[in-house]
Amino acid sequence: DTGVSQNPRHKITKRGQNVTFRCDPISEHNRLYWYRQTLGQGPEFLTYFQNEAQLEKSRLLSDRFSAERPKGSFSTLEIQRTEQGDSAMYLCASSYQSVLNTEAFFGQGTRLTVV
């Protein structure tokens, strides 16, 4: 297993277009998280899944954002009608939920630039 994989690594899009990012977690991990990181800031939580169920969404996740994890494996994050303010690094992380283990493993991120 090579860890958490995110594709694409970079995406440049015009304002108003839709974009979709993919995250492949570590294979036995049942939890998957999406975060957004803007320049000079720490990552901010967007949403997370346990298996295929989306359990929590941040207020940051406007109705233009949607995330899915249809079979409890990979996940997609779609942004509709992109705005310049959506430009950021989008990070995916996965973990195996248990009583003892709370470590999340991060992918390298997808950098989105909206022009």
Residues that bind another protein (CB under 8 A): 4, 31, 33, 35, 40-45, 48, 56, 91, 93, 95, 97, 102-109
> Given the complex with another protein, which of 37 and 80 has the nearer CB atom?
37
Question: Identity (one letter) of the amino acid at 40?
Answer: G
CB 86 to another protein: min, Å = 19
> Given the complex with another protein, which of 44 and 52 has the nearer CB atom?
44
Buried b (16+ CB within 10 A) or exposed e, 13-49: beeeeebebebbbbeebebbbbbbeeeeeebeebbbb
> Given the complex with another protein, which of 109 and 112 has the nearer CB atom?
109
Residues paired with 53 in a beta bridge:
50
